[in-house]
Amino acid sequence: MNRAVRNVGTAMLVMVLAGPVSLGQSVEALYKSKCQMCHGEKGLADSAAGKSMKVKPVTDADVKKMSEAQMVEAVENGMGKMQPYKGKLTDAQIKDVVEHFRTFLK
C-alpha cells in the first residue's frame, strides 16, 4: 500500500512539474493549427492563404497599433475574412494565442 501511494504521489508531482512545459507547447500547437495557415509561422502572412486573402503581416502599422484587447476581439468575432473563434476556442486559448502572436511584434 505504501508503495502505491508513493507511486501515485510521484506521478502527480511529474504532472504538476510537466504542466507548464506542455502548456507552452500547446499554445504553439494551437497557433499552428488555427492561425499559421493564414498568418504564417512568424506572423508575416507569407503563406499562400495569407497572400490570397490579403492578410496584413505583423509588421503592418495597423496591426502594430492594435491593442491586445482589440486582437482578442478580432479573434473572438472575426475580422475581414477571418472566421470568429468565440465558442470554438476558450477565452483562455484566445488570450494565449493572441499573446503568442504579439511576440512576433518584437
In this predicted model, what pLDDT tens digit does every residue of 70-86 receive, in sequence order? Answer: 999 999 999 999 999 99
Answer yes or no: is 45 within a domain: yes
Answer yes or no: is 42 within a domain: yes
Range of the domain at 44: 23-105
Answer yes or no: is 15 within a domain: no
Answer yes or no: is 54 within a domain: yes
Q: Which residue is it, cell 500547437?
A: 29
Provide the domain count of the chain.
Answer: 1
For 55-70, write each residue's pLDDT tens digit: 999 999 999 999 999 9
> Alpha-carbon torsion 82, 103, 46, 89, what sign?
negative
CATH number at residue 52: 1.10.760.10
Answer yes or no: is 39 within a domain: yes
Answer yes or no: is 2 within a domain: no
Q: What are phi and psi of 82, to 5 degrees?
A: -75, 130
Query: How many CA atoms lie within 13 Å of 19's alpha carbon, on the beta-carbon side?
Result: 6
- What span, in angstroms and rounded, lies between the C-alpha atoms of 36 and 39? 5
Answer yes or no: is 4 within a domain: no
Its pTM stands at 0.74
